[in-house]
Chains A and B, each alone.
Chain A
Amino acid sequence: MKTDKIISWILLLMALTAICGLALITIFIFKEGLPILVKVGPVKFIFSMDWYPSEGEFGIFSMIVGSLAVTCGALIIGIIFGIGCAILLAQFCPPRLVSILKPLVELLAGIPSVVYGFIGVVVLVPLIRDYLGGPGLSVLASSIVLGIMVLPTIISISIDAIRSVPGAYREGSIALGATEWQTMCMLTLKAARSGIVAAIILGMGRAIGETMAVIMVAGNTLDLPQSILDPVRTLTSNIALEMGYAAGTHRQALFATGVILFIIIMILNSIALVVSKHGIKSRKIL
Protein backbone atom coordinates (compact mmCIF):
# COMPACT_ATOMS: atom_id res chain seq x y z
CA MET A 1 0.00 0.00 0.00
CA LYS A 2 1.26 3.42 -0.86
CA THR A 3 0.31 5.20 2.35
CA ASP A 4 1.73 2.36 4.39
CA LYS A 5 5.03 2.75 2.66
CA ILE A 6 5.13 6.51 3.12
CA ILE A 7 4.34 6.16 6.78
CA SER A 8 6.95 3.49 7.29
CA TRP A 9 9.47 5.79 5.62
CA ILE A 10 8.51 8.62 7.95
CA LEU A 11 8.86 6.35 10.94
CA LEU A 12 12.21 5.08 9.70
CA LEU A 13 13.36 8.67 9.35
CA MET A 14 12.36 9.40 12.94
CA ALA A 15 14.10 6.29 14.20
CA LEU A 16 17.22 7.35 12.35
CA THR A 17 17.14 10.82 13.91
CA ALA A 18 17.52 9.26 17.35
CA ILE A 19 20.41 7.12 16.20
CA CYS A 20 21.99 10.08 14.42
CA GLY A 21 21.83 11.96 17.71
CA LEU A 22 23.80 9.21 19.38
CA ALA A 23 26.30 9.09 16.54
CA LEU A 24 26.79 12.86 16.56
CA ILE A 25 27.31 12.91 20.31
CA THR A 26 29.88 10.15 20.07
CA ILE A 27 31.73 11.80 17.21
CA PHE A 28 31.70 15.17 18.94
CA ILE A 29 32.97 13.87 22.29
CA PHE A 30 35.77 11.93 20.65
CA LYS A 31 36.68 14.75 18.30
CA GLU A 32 36.99 17.20 21.17
CA GLY A 33 38.54 14.83 23.68
CA LEU A 34 40.94 12.65 21.76
CA PRO A 35 43.57 15.29 20.84
CA ILE A 36 44.39 16.05 24.46
CA LEU A 37 44.19 12.36 25.37
CA VAL A 38 46.84 11.66 22.76
CA LYS A 39 48.89 14.69 23.71
CA VAL A 40 49.00 13.89 27.42
CA GLY A 41 49.17 10.16 26.74
CA PRO A 42 46.25 7.91 27.69
CA VAL A 43 48.22 6.10 30.39
CA LYS A 44 49.26 9.32 32.07
CA PHE A 45 45.79 10.79 31.70
CA ILE A 46 44.17 7.77 33.34
CA PHE A 47 46.74 6.90 35.98
CA SER A 48 48.07 10.29 37.06
CA MET A 49 46.49 11.93 40.08
CA ASP A 50 47.56 15.49 39.28
CA TRP A 51 44.61 17.50 38.02
CA TYR A 52 45.80 21.10 37.70
CA PRO A 53 44.15 22.31 34.51
CA SER A 54 45.52 25.83 34.77
CA GLU A 55 49.05 24.42 34.85
CA GLY A 56 48.36 21.97 32.06
CA GLU A 57 48.41 18.84 34.20
CA PHE A 58 45.60 16.45 33.55
CA GLY A 59 45.28 13.20 35.48
CA ILE A 60 41.95 11.70 36.41
CA PHE A 61 42.91 8.60 38.39
CA SER A 62 41.38 9.82 41.64
CA MET A 63 38.14 10.61 39.83
CA ILE A 64 37.96 7.17 38.24
CA VAL A 65 38.48 5.69 41.70
CA GLY A 66 35.88 8.13 43.04
CA SER A 67 33.31 7.15 40.43
CA LEU A 68 33.89 3.45 41.05
CA ALA A 69 33.82 3.82 44.85
CA VAL A 70 30.58 5.78 44.81
CA THR A 71 28.99 3.40 42.31
CA CYS A 72 30.01 0.32 44.34
CA GLY A 73 28.61 1.87 47.49
CA ALA A 74 25.38 2.76 45.74
CA LEU A 75 25.08 -0.78 44.38
CA ILE A 76 25.63 -2.39 47.78
CA ILE A 77 22.77 -0.32 49.17
CA GLY A 78 20.67 -0.68 46.02
CA ILE A 79 21.13 -4.46 45.82
CA ILE A 80 20.37 -5.19 49.47
CA PHE A 81 17.24 -3.06 49.61
CA GLY A 82 16.22 -3.38 45.96
CA ILE A 83 16.28 -7.14 45.68
CA GLY A 84 14.74 -7.54 49.11
CA CYS A 85 11.92 -5.26 48.02
CA ALA A 86 11.57 -7.03 44.68
CA ILE A 87 11.27 -10.45 46.37
CA LEU A 88 8.62 -9.10 48.70
CA LEU A 89 6.62 -7.42 45.96
CA ALA A 90 6.87 -10.30 43.52
CA GLN A 91 6.14 -13.16 45.86
CA PHE A 92 5.15 -12.49 49.45
CA CYS A 93 2.96 -9.43 49.26
CA PRO A 94 -0.84 -9.37 48.96
CA PRO A 95 -1.77 -8.00 45.49
CA ARG A 96 -3.59 -5.00 46.89
CA LEU A 97 -0.52 -3.87 48.79
CA VAL A 98 1.58 -4.41 45.66
CA SER A 99 -0.74 -2.14 43.70
CA ILE A 100 0.04 0.60 46.21
CA LEU A 101 3.75 -0.06 46.81
CA LYS A 102 4.89 -0.57 43.23
CA PRO A 103 3.71 2.80 41.91
CA LEU A 104 5.27 4.43 44.96
CA VAL A 105 8.63 2.82 44.22
CA GLU A 106 8.34 3.92 40.60
CA LEU A 107 7.57 7.42 41.77
CA LEU A 108 11.08 7.51 43.25
CA ALA A 109 12.41 7.52 39.69
CA GLY A 110 10.46 10.68 38.96
CA ILE A 111 12.05 12.82 41.66
CA PRO A 112 14.63 15.17 40.09
CA SER A 113 18.19 14.38 41.08
CA VAL A 114 18.82 17.88 42.37
CA VAL A 115 16.14 17.24 44.99
CA TYR A 116 17.93 14.09 46.12
CA GLY A 117 21.13 16.09 46.31
CA PHE A 118 19.51 18.85 48.29
CA ILE A 119 18.02 16.45 50.82
CA GLY A 120 21.41 14.78 51.00
CA VAL A 121 23.14 18.06 51.82
CA VAL A 122 20.56 19.28 54.29
CA VAL A 123 19.76 16.03 56.12
CA LEU A 124 22.29 13.31 55.44
CA VAL A 125 25.55 15.27 55.39
CA PRO A 126 25.09 16.90 58.83
CA LEU A 127 24.09 13.52 60.30
CA ILE A 128 27.24 11.87 58.98
CA ARG A 129 29.42 14.80 60.08
CA ASP A 130 28.00 14.83 63.59
CA TYR A 131 27.77 11.10 64.26
CA LEU A 132 30.48 9.47 62.16
CA GLY A 133 33.01 12.30 61.72
CA GLY A 134 34.76 13.63 58.65
CA PRO A 135 33.41 16.49 56.58
CA GLY A 136 30.06 14.80 55.98
CA LEU A 137 30.37 15.26 52.24
CA SER A 138 31.65 11.78 51.53
CA VAL A 139 31.62 8.51 49.64
CA LEU A 140 29.08 7.28 52.19
CA ALA A 141 26.70 10.20 51.68
CA SER A 142 26.83 9.92 47.89
CA SER A 143 26.46 6.14 48.04
CA ILE A 144 23.33 6.43 50.14
CA VAL A 145 21.80 9.09 47.90
CA LEU A 146 22.67 7.17 44.73
CA GLY A 147 21.59 3.89 46.32
CA ILE A 148 18.12 5.32 46.80
CA MET A 149 18.15 6.71 43.27
CA VAL A 150 18.91 3.32 41.68
CA LEU A 151 16.25 1.51 43.74
CA PRO A 152 13.38 1.95 41.25
CA THR A 153 15.49 0.59 38.38
CA ILE A 154 16.66 -2.43 40.34
CA ILE A 155 13.28 -3.15 41.91
CA SER A 156 11.10 -2.97 38.83
CA ILE A 157 13.39 -5.02 36.59
CA SER A 158 14.02 -7.59 39.34
CA ILE A 159 10.27 -7.99 39.89
CA ASP A 160 9.80 -8.68 36.18
CA ALA A 161 12.65 -11.19 36.28
CA ILE A 162 11.26 -13.01 39.31
CA ARG A 163 7.75 -13.05 37.86
CA SER A 164 8.95 -14.41 34.55
CA VAL A 165 10.18 -17.62 36.23
CA PRO A 166 7.61 -20.26 35.16
CA GLY A 167 5.09 -21.00 37.88
CA ALA A 168 5.61 -24.74 37.36
CA TYR A 169 9.11 -24.52 38.91
CA ARG A 170 7.74 -23.02 42.05
CA GLU A 171 4.83 -25.39 42.30
CA GLY A 172 7.14 -28.33 41.72
CA SER A 173 9.50 -27.19 44.40
CA ILE A 174 6.70 -26.68 46.90
CA ALA A 175 5.22 -30.05 45.99
CA LEU A 176 8.58 -31.61 46.80
CA GLY A 177 8.29 -30.22 50.30
CA ALA A 178 10.44 -27.06 50.12
CA THR A 179 9.16 -24.06 52.06
CA GLU A 180 8.28 -20.80 50.29
CA TRP A 181 11.54 -19.27 51.43
CA GLN A 182 13.65 -22.23 50.36
CA THR A 183 11.93 -22.14 46.97
CA MET A 184 12.71 -18.43 46.65
CA CYS A 185 16.38 -18.71 47.63
CA MET A 186 17.31 -21.96 45.98
CA LEU A 187 15.14 -21.87 42.88
CA THR A 188 13.36 -18.69 41.86
CA LEU A 189 16.30 -16.33 42.47
CA LYS A 190 18.63 -18.69 40.62
CA ALA A 191 16.27 -18.98 37.66
CA ALA A 192 15.80 -15.21 37.57
CA ARG A 193 19.51 -14.61 38.00
CA SER A 194 20.19 -13.16 34.57
CA GLY A 195 17.33 -10.67 34.83
CA ILE A 196 18.47 -9.58 38.25
CA VAL A 197 22.05 -9.14 37.08
CA ALA A 198 20.76 -7.03 34.20
CA ALA A 199 18.79 -4.93 36.70
CA ILE A 200 21.91 -4.40 38.78
CA ILE A 201 24.00 -3.41 35.79
CA LEU A 202 21.36 -0.96 34.58
CA GLY A 203 21.34 0.49 38.09
CA MET A 204 25.11 0.74 37.91
CA GLY A 205 24.81 2.70 34.67
CA ARG A 206 22.46 5.12 36.32
CA ALA A 207 24.69 5.49 39.38
CA ILE A 208 27.89 6.11 37.46
CA GLY A 209 26.21 8.66 35.20
CA GLU A 210 24.46 10.67 37.90
CA THR A 211 25.91 14.13 38.29
CA MET A 212 23.91 16.77 40.09
CA ALA A 213 23.17 14.88 43.29
CA VAL A 214 26.78 13.73 43.48
CA ILE A 215 28.23 17.23 43.03
CA MET A 216 26.17 18.34 45.99
CA VAL A 217 27.06 15.54 48.43
CA ALA A 218 30.44 14.14 47.35
CA GLY A 219 32.68 17.10 48.28
CA ASN A 220 34.61 17.01 44.97
CA THR A 221 38.16 16.72 46.33
CA LEU A 222 41.01 15.64 44.11
CA ASP A 223 42.44 13.21 46.66
CA LEU A 224 42.07 9.45 46.78
CA PRO A 225 39.54 8.50 49.46
CA GLN A 226 41.06 6.63 52.40
CA SER A 227 37.75 5.67 53.95
CA ILE A 228 34.07 5.90 53.16
CA LEU A 229 33.93 9.10 55.21
CA ASP A 230 36.33 10.88 52.87
CA PRO A 231 35.08 13.15 50.11
CA VAL A 232 35.66 12.25 46.45
CA ARG A 233 35.17 13.66 42.99
CA THR A 234 33.53 11.58 40.29
CA LEU A 235 34.12 11.80 36.54
CA THR A 236 30.70 13.27 35.89
CA SER A 237 30.96 15.92 38.57
CA ASN A 238 34.40 16.90 37.31
CA ILE A 239 32.89 17.71 33.93
CA ALA A 240 29.87 19.54 35.30
CA LEU A 241 31.86 21.49 37.91
CA GLU A 242 34.42 22.95 35.55
CA MET A 243 32.63 23.02 32.21
CA GLY A 244 31.17 26.47 32.73
CA TYR A 245 34.59 28.03 33.06
CA ALA A 246 36.77 25.88 30.93
CA ALA A 247 38.43 27.04 27.75
CA GLY A 248 41.19 25.69 25.54
CA THR A 249 43.01 22.58 26.71
CA HIS A 250 41.05 22.54 29.97
CA ARG A 251 37.85 22.19 27.98
CA GLN A 252 39.39 19.46 25.85
CA ALA A 253 40.50 17.64 29.00
CA LEU A 254 36.92 17.70 30.25
CA PHE A 255 35.80 16.15 26.98
CA ALA A 256 38.55 13.56 27.41
CA THR A 257 37.08 12.84 30.85
CA GLY A 258 33.83 12.30 28.98
CA VAL A 259 35.57 9.91 26.60
CA ILE A 260 36.84 7.81 29.51
CA LEU A 261 33.39 7.84 31.11
CA PHE A 262 31.86 6.88 27.77
CA ILE A 263 34.25 3.92 27.48
CA ILE A 264 33.55 2.79 31.06
CA ILE A 265 29.79 2.94 30.47
CA MET A 266 30.14 1.12 27.12
CA ILE A 267 32.04 -1.67 28.89
CA LEU A 268 29.34 -1.92 31.57
CA ASN A 269 26.54 -1.98 28.99
CA SER A 270 28.29 -4.65 26.94
CA ILE A 271 28.65 -6.76 30.07
CA ALA A 272 24.93 -6.26 30.67
CA LEU A 273 24.09 -7.38 27.13
CA VAL A 274 26.33 -10.44 27.33
CA VAL A 275 25.01 -11.44 30.72
CA SER A 276 21.35 -11.10 29.77
CA LYS A 277 21.88 -13.00 26.48
CA HIS A 278 23.78 -15.71 28.29
CA GLY A 279 20.92 -15.86 30.78
CA ILE A 280 18.32 -16.49 28.07
CA LYS A 281 20.41 -19.34 26.67
CA SER A 282 20.91 -21.01 30.03
CA ARG A 283 17.23 -20.73 30.81
CA LYS A 284 16.39 -22.59 27.60
CA ILE A 285 18.67 -25.43 28.67
CA LEU A 286 17.09 -25.44 32.08
Chain B
Amino acid sequence: MGCNVKTKRELIKFSWAIFNVFSIILVMFLFGCSKTHKNSINIVGSTSVQPFAEMLAQEFERLNPGVHVEVQGGGSTAGIQSVLQNIADIGTCSRQLAGSETNLNSILIAKDGLAIVVHPSNSIDNLSREQIRDIFSGKITSWKELGGKDQPIRIITREEGSGTREAFVKMVMGKSRISRKALNQESNGAVKELVKNDPCGIGYMSLGLVGNELKMVSVDGIKPTIDEAKAGKYPLVRPFLFVTKNEIKPESQKFIDFVLSSNAQEILRREGLIPIK
Protein backbone atom coordinates (compact mmCIF):
# COMPACT_ATOMS: atom_id res chain seq x y z
CA MET B 1 0.00 0.00 0.00
CA GLY B 2 1.68 3.18 -1.13
CA CYS B 3 1.02 5.55 1.67
CA ASN B 4 0.85 9.15 0.66
CA VAL B 5 3.43 10.96 2.78
CA LYS B 6 1.54 14.22 2.67
CA THR B 7 -1.72 12.71 3.94
CA LYS B 8 0.12 10.92 6.68
CA ARG B 9 1.76 14.10 7.84
CA GLU B 10 -1.56 15.88 7.79
CA LEU B 11 -3.09 13.12 9.83
CA ILE B 12 -0.35 13.39 12.44
CA LYS B 13 -0.76 17.14 12.49
CA PHE B 14 -4.49 16.73 12.90
CA SER B 15 -4.25 14.31 15.79
CA TRP B 16 -1.62 16.51 17.39
CA ALA B 17 -4.08 19.40 17.22
CA ILE B 18 -6.80 17.29 18.79
CA PHE B 19 -4.40 16.16 21.50
CA ASN B 20 -3.62 19.80 22.23
CA VAL B 21 -7.27 20.72 22.49
CA PHE B 22 -7.84 17.89 24.91
CA SER B 23 -4.89 18.81 27.07
CA ILE B 24 -6.01 22.44 27.19
CA ILE B 25 -9.46 21.34 28.34
CA LEU B 26 -7.86 19.07 30.94
CA VAL B 27 -5.64 21.85 32.26
CA MET B 28 -8.56 24.26 32.41
CA PHE B 29 -10.59 21.66 34.25
CA LEU B 30 -7.84 21.11 36.82
CA PHE B 31 -7.43 24.83 37.34
CA GLY B 32 -11.18 25.18 37.62
CA CYS B 33 -11.19 22.65 40.42
CA SER B 34 -8.38 24.19 42.37
CA LYS B 35 -10.00 27.61 42.09
CA THR B 36 -12.72 26.91 44.69
CA HIS B 37 -12.25 29.42 47.47
CA LYS B 38 -11.44 28.11 50.85
CA ASN B 39 -13.52 30.82 52.43
CA SER B 40 -16.58 30.61 50.25
CA ILE B 41 -20.22 30.18 51.11
CA ASN B 42 -22.51 28.68 48.54
CA ILE B 43 -26.17 29.68 48.74
CA VAL B 44 -28.77 28.05 46.50
CA GLY B 45 -32.54 28.24 46.47
CA SER B 46 -35.72 30.24 46.07
CA THR B 47 -35.77 32.84 43.32
CA SER B 48 -37.84 35.03 45.65
CA VAL B 49 -35.11 35.08 48.27
CA GLN B 50 -32.30 35.37 45.74
CA PRO B 51 -32.25 39.15 45.18
CA PHE B 52 -32.26 39.77 48.95
CA ALA B 53 -29.63 37.12 49.59
CA GLU B 54 -27.45 38.72 46.93
CA MET B 55 -27.78 42.09 48.59
CA LEU B 56 -26.85 40.64 51.96
CA ALA B 57 -23.96 38.72 50.41
CA GLN B 58 -22.54 41.91 48.94
CA GLU B 59 -22.72 43.67 52.25
CA PHE B 60 -21.21 40.70 54.04
CA GLU B 61 -18.33 40.51 51.55
CA ARG B 62 -17.70 44.22 52.05
CA LEU B 63 -17.50 43.75 55.81
CA ASN B 64 -15.47 40.52 55.64
CA PRO B 65 -12.88 40.81 52.90
CA GLY B 66 -11.58 37.45 51.73
CA VAL B 67 -14.87 35.63 52.16
CA HIS B 68 -16.71 34.87 48.97
CA VAL B 69 -20.49 34.38 49.00
CA GLU B 70 -22.07 32.90 45.93
CA VAL B 71 -25.85 33.13 45.52
CA GLN B 72 -27.79 31.04 43.02
CA GLY B 73 -31.46 30.63 42.20
CA GLY B 74 -33.21 27.43 41.21
CA GLY B 75 -36.17 27.31 43.54
CA SER B 76 -36.94 26.39 47.14
CA THR B 77 -36.98 22.67 46.50
CA ALA B 78 -33.76 22.81 44.52
CA GLY B 79 -32.16 24.71 47.41
CA ILE B 80 -33.12 22.06 49.92
CA GLN B 81 -31.95 19.29 47.59
CA SER B 82 -28.61 21.06 47.17
CA VAL B 83 -28.13 21.24 50.93
CA LEU B 84 -28.96 17.55 51.28
CA GLN B 85 -26.45 16.69 48.55
CA ASN B 86 -23.79 18.97 50.07
CA ILE B 87 -23.72 21.13 46.93
CA ALA B 88 -24.78 24.19 48.88
CA ASP B 89 -23.87 25.37 52.36
CA ILE B 90 -27.12 27.24 52.80
CA GLY B 91 -30.40 26.63 51.01
CA THR B 92 -32.98 29.37 50.81
CA CYS B 93 -36.64 28.55 50.99
CA SER B 94 -39.72 30.70 50.58
CA ARG B 95 -42.25 28.29 52.03
CA GLN B 96 -42.70 26.12 55.10
CA LEU B 97 -40.62 22.97 55.17
CA ALA B 98 -42.64 19.84 54.60
CA GLY B 99 -42.26 16.12 55.24
CA SER B 100 -38.71 14.85 55.49
CA GLU B 101 -37.35 18.36 54.95
CA THR B 102 -38.19 19.22 58.55
CA ASN B 103 -35.15 17.20 59.65
CA LEU B 104 -32.98 20.04 58.39
CA ASN B 105 -32.03 23.02 60.45
CA SER B 106 -34.08 26.06 59.41
CA ILE B 107 -33.57 29.69 60.33
CA LEU B 108 -36.26 32.30 59.79
CA ILE B 109 -34.50 35.32 58.31
CA ALA B 110 -37.48 37.48 57.40
CA LYS B 111 -41.09 37.31 56.35
CA ASP B 112 -42.49 38.30 53.01
CA GLY B 113 -45.94 39.46 52.10
CA LEU B 114 -47.60 38.05 49.04
CA ALA B 115 -49.12 40.85 47.01
CA ILE B 116 -52.04 40.41 44.64
CA VAL B 117 -51.19 42.60 41.68
CA VAL B 118 -53.27 44.01 38.82
CA HIS B 119 -52.74 46.47 36.00
CA PRO B 120 -52.60 50.13 37.17
CA SER B 121 -55.72 50.96 35.10
CA ASN B 122 -57.78 48.39 36.98
CA SER B 123 -60.46 50.00 39.18
CA ILE B 124 -60.63 47.15 41.70
CA ASP B 125 -59.14 48.14 45.06
CA ASN B 126 -60.10 45.35 47.36
CA LEU B 127 -60.68 41.63 47.07
CA SER B 128 -61.64 39.12 49.72
CA ARG B 129 -59.70 35.91 49.99
CA GLU B 130 -62.77 34.02 48.71
CA GLN B 131 -62.92 36.28 45.68
CA ILE B 132 -59.23 35.73 44.95
CA ARG B 133 -59.78 32.01 45.28
CA ASP B 134 -62.75 32.11 42.90
CA ILE B 135 -60.75 34.16 40.41
CA PHE B 136 -57.78 31.81 40.41
CA SER B 137 -59.91 28.67 40.34
CA GLY B 138 -61.75 30.03 37.32
CA LYS B 139 -65.19 30.57 38.91
CA ILE B 140 -65.15 34.31 38.38
CA THR B 141 -64.15 35.02 34.81
CA SER B 142 -64.99 38.69 34.26
CA TRP B 143 -63.90 41.83 36.08
CA LYS B 144 -67.54 42.93 35.78
CA GLU B 145 -68.60 40.38 38.40
CA LEU B 146 -66.29 42.18 40.84
CA GLY B 147 -67.54 45.65 39.92
CA GLY B 148 -64.89 46.44 37.35
CA LYS B 149 -64.88 46.84 33.59
CA ASP B 150 -66.55 44.31 31.31
CA GLN B 151 -63.33 42.49 30.52
CA PRO B 152 -62.26 38.90 30.93
CA ILE B 153 -59.91 38.12 33.81
CA ARG B 154 -56.54 36.79 32.80
CA ILE B 155 -54.95 34.76 35.60
CA ILE B 156 -51.19 34.69 35.81
CA THR B 157 -49.66 32.13 38.11
CA ARG B 158 -46.21 30.73 38.86
CA GLU B 159 -45.14 27.30 37.71
CA GLU B 160 -45.77 24.16 39.71
CA GLY B 161 -43.11 23.75 42.41
CA SER B 162 -42.39 27.43 42.91
CA GLY B 163 -42.22 28.49 46.56
CA THR B 164 -44.35 31.54 45.80
CA ARG B 165 -47.00 29.37 44.21
CA GLU B 166 -46.97 26.89 47.08
CA ALA B 167 -47.35 29.69 49.59
CA PHE B 168 -50.21 31.19 47.55
CA VAL B 169 -51.99 27.85 47.20
CA LYS B 170 -51.67 27.20 50.92
CA MET B 171 -52.83 30.63 52.05
CA VAL B 172 -55.50 31.38 49.45
CA MET B 173 -56.53 28.39 47.37
CA GLY B 174 -56.88 25.80 50.11
CA LYS B 175 -58.34 22.70 48.49
CA SER B 176 -59.35 24.27 45.18
CA ARG B 177 -57.06 24.09 42.21
CA ILE B 178 -55.66 26.92 40.16
CA SER B 179 -57.51 27.03 36.85
CA ARG B 180 -56.07 25.25 33.86
CA LYS B 181 -56.51 28.44 31.88
CA ALA B 182 -53.99 30.28 34.04
CA LEU B 183 -50.87 31.52 32.30
CA ASN B 184 -47.74 30.08 33.89
CA GLN B 185 -44.65 32.26 34.20
CA GLU B 186 -41.36 31.11 35.59
CA SER B 187 -40.26 34.06 37.70
CA ASN B 188 -41.48 37.04 39.71
CA GLY B 189 -40.06 39.24 36.97
CA ALA B 190 -42.02 37.51 34.22
CA VAL B 191 -45.26 37.82 36.21
CA LYS B 192 -44.55 41.50 36.75
CA GLU B 193 -43.85 42.08 33.06
CA LEU B 194 -47.08 40.40 32.06
CA VAL B 195 -49.35 42.14 34.57
CA LYS B 196 -47.75 45.47 33.76
CA ASN B 197 -48.74 45.14 30.11
CA ASP B 198 -52.08 43.38 30.35
CA PRO B 199 -55.08 45.45 31.52
CA CYS B 200 -57.04 42.26 32.23
CA GLY B 201 -54.30 40.48 34.15
CA ILE B 202 -54.08 39.48 37.79
CA GLY B 203 -51.14 37.77 39.45
CA TYR B 204 -49.39 37.33 42.77
CA MET B 205 -45.82 38.01 43.71
CA SER B 206 -43.43 38.83 46.49
CA LEU B 207 -44.42 42.11 48.15
CA GLY B 208 -40.82 43.27 48.18
CA LEU B 209 -40.47 42.94 44.43
CA VAL B 210 -43.65 44.66 43.23
CA GLY B 211 -42.13 48.09 42.59
CA ASN B 212 -44.35 50.98 41.60
CA GLU B 213 -45.49 49.99 38.12
CA LEU B 214 -48.21 47.64 39.34
CA LYS B 215 -51.30 48.13 41.45
CA MET B 216 -51.61 46.05 44.60
CA VAL B 217 -55.13 45.27 45.80
CA SER B 218 -56.05 45.10 49.45
CA VAL B 219 -56.91 41.66 50.76
CA ASP B 220 -59.91 41.39 53.11
CA GLY B 221 -59.80 45.18 53.31
CA ILE B 222 -56.21 45.38 54.51
CA LYS B 223 -53.58 47.16 52.47
CA PRO B 224 -50.50 45.11 51.60
CA THR B 225 -47.89 47.17 53.41
CA ILE B 226 -44.99 46.11 55.58
CA ASP B 227 -46.54 47.70 58.64
CA GLU B 228 -49.83 45.86 58.26
CA ALA B 229 -47.95 42.63 57.64
CA LYS B 230 -45.69 43.16 60.63
CA ALA B 231 -48.70 43.85 62.81
CA GLY B 232 -50.04 40.51 61.70
CA LYS B 233 -53.08 42.00 60.00
CA TYR B 234 -52.26 41.37 56.35
CA PRO B 235 -53.20 37.74 55.82
CA LEU B 236 -50.83 36.67 53.05
CA VAL B 237 -47.44 36.37 54.73
CA ARG B 238 -44.89 33.62 54.21
CA PRO B 239 -41.52 32.85 55.79
CA PHE B 240 -38.13 33.26 54.15
CA LEU B 241 -35.90 30.52 55.51
CA PHE B 242 -32.25 29.64 55.45
CA VAL B 243 -31.88 25.88 55.52
CA THR B 244 -28.70 24.12 56.59
CA LYS B 245 -27.54 20.73 57.72
CA ASN B 246 -27.06 20.35 61.44
CA GLU B 247 -23.28 20.70 61.30
CA ILE B 248 -22.34 23.98 59.74
CA LYS B 249 -19.20 25.68 58.42
CA PRO B 250 -17.91 28.57 60.60
CA GLU B 251 -18.17 30.98 57.63
CA SER B 252 -21.79 30.01 57.06
CA GLN B 253 -22.58 30.51 60.74
CA LYS B 254 -20.95 33.91 60.54
CA PHE B 255 -23.08 34.82 57.54
CA ILE B 256 -26.25 33.65 59.26
CA ASP B 257 -25.37 35.68 62.35
CA PHE B 258 -24.84 38.66 60.09
CA VAL B 259 -28.21 38.18 58.39
CA LEU B 260 -29.93 38.12 61.78
CA SER B 261 -28.09 41.24 62.95
CA SER B 262 -30.03 44.47 63.14
CA ASN B 263 -27.94 45.96 60.33
CA ALA B 264 -28.90 43.27 57.85
CA GLN B 265 -32.49 43.23 59.06
CA GLU B 266 -32.62 46.95 58.36
CA ILE B 267 -31.46 46.30 54.78
CA LEU B 268 -34.20 43.72 54.36
CA ARG B 269 -36.81 46.09 55.74
CA ARG B 270 -35.69 48.82 53.36
CA GLU B 271 -36.04 46.42 50.45
CA GLY B 272 -39.62 45.59 51.31
CA LEU B 273 -39.42 42.52 53.51
CA ILE B 274 -40.77 42.15 57.00
CA PRO B 275 -37.86 41.90 59.46
CA ILE B 276 -38.13 39.35 62.24
CA LYS B 277 -37.18 41.81 64.97
A binding-site residues for B, Cβ under 8 Å: 1, 3-4, 7, 10-11, 14, 49, 51-54, 62, 121, 125-126, 129, 135-137, 215-216, 219-223, 231, 233, 241-242, 244-247, 250
Contacts and interface: CB of A to CB of B under 8 A. Distances in A.
B3 A1 contact: yes
Contacts of A53: 160-161
Contact of B183 (A137, A245, A247): A137
A245 B180 contact: no
Interface in B158-200: 159-162, 166, 177, 180-186, 190, 193-194, 197-198, 200
B77 interface: yes
Interface stretch (B8-16, B59-67, B233-241, B251-259): B8-16
Given A125-B197, A219-B183, A245-B162, 19 more contacts: A10-B18, A51-B160, A121-B193, A129-B198, A135-B183, A136-B198, A215-B186, A219-B184, A221-B183, A222-B180, A222-B184, A233-B184, A241-B159, A241-B160, A242-B159, A242-B161, A244-B74, A245-B77, A247-B77
Contacts of A14: 18
A257 B166 CA distance: 23
Interface residues of B, number: 36
A255 to B, nearest CB: 15
B81 interface: yes
A2 to B, nearest CB: 10
Label chain B's interface by main secondary structure. mixed
B255 to A, nearest CB: 24
A1 B4 CA distance: 11
A242 B160 contact: yes
Contacts of A242: 159-161
Interface string B257-274: 000000000000000000
B81 A247 contact: yes
B231 interface: no
A244 B75 contact: yes
23 contacts: A1-B1, A7-B12, A7-B14, A10-B18, A14-B18, A51-B160, A52-B160, A52-B177, A54-B161, A54-B166, A135-B154, A135-B200, A136-B198, A137-B194, A219-B183, A221-B180, A221-B181, A222-B180, A241-B160, A245-B77, A245-B78, A247-B77, A250-B160
A62 B78 CA distance: 27
Nearest to A135: B154
The 5 A-B residue pairs with the shortest CB-CB distance, nearest first, are: A245-B161, A220-B184, A245-B75, A223-B180, A222-B180
Contacts of B177: 52
Nearest to A247: B77
B184 A1 contact: no
B193 to A, nearest CB: 7
B76 A245 contact: yes
Contact of A241 (B81, B154, B186, B201): B186
Interface string B137-161: 0000000000000000010000111
Contacts of A222: 180, 182, 184
A215 B78 CA distance: 20
B8 A3 contact: yes
A283 B197 CA distance: 54
Nearest to B11: A7
Contacts of A219: 183-184
Given A1-B1, A135-B154, A223 B160 contact: no
A53 B8 CA distance: 59
B3 A246 contact: no
Nearest to A222: B180
A7 B3 CA distance: 14
Interface string B9-40: 00110110010000000000000000000000
A137 B191 CA distance: 13
A217 B201 CA distance: 16
Contacts of B194: 137
Contact of A10 (B15, B166, B183): B15
A242 to B, nearest CB: 5
A221 B154 CA distance: 11
A80 to B, nearest CB: 29
Contacts of B193: 121
